[in-house]
Chain A
Amino acid sequence: EPEVTQTPSHQVTQMGQEVILRCVPISNHLYFYWYRQILGQKVEFLVSFYNNEISEKSEIFDDQFSVERPDGSNFTLKIRSTKLEDSAMYFCASSGGSRAYEQYFGPGTRLTVT
């Protein structure tokens, strides 16, 4: 069964550094998403992406964040200057086709900002 993959599984970075989190969505999906989950808290929506542009973004997704689909398979989340409070699990998801309402999530990238 096709699945969403994410790399790396764990990223440690220093405050102020840039990080890029990578995702490979399911190949025939058209909608892509990033969510985050701060330890012990609920999953929060960050941004959705369709047709090579942002469809929707939350208040969390400020100017420090950007997303890109650099090629036909990857979907990336960049944080330009990380803060301590960016430490969280970041999940990529995709949906599309005949089951557009079903989002399939990747295993997540744990980002630790020190």
Chain B
Amino acid sequence: AQSVAQPEDQVNVAEGNPLTVKCTYSVSGNPYLFWYVQYPNRGLQFLLKYITGDNLVKGSYGFEAEFNKSQTSFHLKKPSALVSDSALYFCAVRDIRGTGANNLFFGTGTRLTVIP
């Protein structure tokens, strides 16, 4: 069975500092991994994905994530945080069950607060 863990409910970082939002996963076979961001009263916005290839994936708004197979991790990073990055971040893995569409299995979310 697949699972995604986001060990931190809340991450606080000062503006301009690097940020990391952690995610670990468990799947059978090769993982398809995703990060989404949710701003207040908004839907989920796609940030980036890892399917195959380079372990460092670059996404929207200056975010990147590093796929680490040995540690089964897919941490989200940004070199310099902005106040506008404050939001709820979800890590997700593709559900490999069934033969249908690419159903996503989400983590519990991490609330990022960037302090001015």
Asked if A106 is at the interface of the complex by the 8 Å CB criterion, the answer is yes
A48, B100: Cα distance in complex, Å: 7
A104 touches B42 (CB 8 A): no
A102 contacts chain B at the CB level, 8 A cutoff: yes
Which residues from A are CB-within-8-Å of B63? none
Residue-by-residue, is B75-116 near A (CB-CB < 8 Å gives 1, otherwise 0)? Answer: 000000000000000101011011111111111110000000
Instruction: Say which residue of B42, B46, B92, B101 sits within 8 Å of A48 (CB atoms).
Output: B101
A-B pair count, CB < 8 Å, reads 76
Given contacts A42-B107, A45-B95, A101-B51, contact A56 B44 (CB under 8 A): no
User: How many residues does chain B have at the interface if contact means C-beta atoms less than 8 Å apart?
Assistant: 28
Q: Which residue of B42, B46, B98, B102 contacts A100 across the interface (Cβ within 8 Å)?
A: B102
Chain B residues closer than 8 Å to A54, beta-carbon distance: 100
| Chain A residues closer than 8 Å to B51, beta-carbon distance | 101
Chain A, interface size category, equals 20 to 34
A72 to chain B, nearest CB (A): 19
Residues 47-65 (chain A) with a chain B CB within 8 angstroms: 48-50, 54-56
Question: Which of chain A's residues have a CB closer than 8 A to the CB of B103?
Answer: 33, 45, 48, 56
Q: Is A4 an interface residue (CB 8 A)?
A: yes
Chain A contacts of B45 at CB under 8 A? Answer: 105
Cβ contact within 8 Å between A91 and B32 = no
- Residue contact A95 to B102, C-beta cutoff 8 Å: yes
Chain A contact residues, CB within 8 Å of chain B? 4, 6, 31-33, 35, 41-45, 48-50, 54-56, 91, 93, 95, 100-108
Q: Which 3 A-B pairs have the closest CB atoms?
A: A55-B100, A56-B100, A105-B43
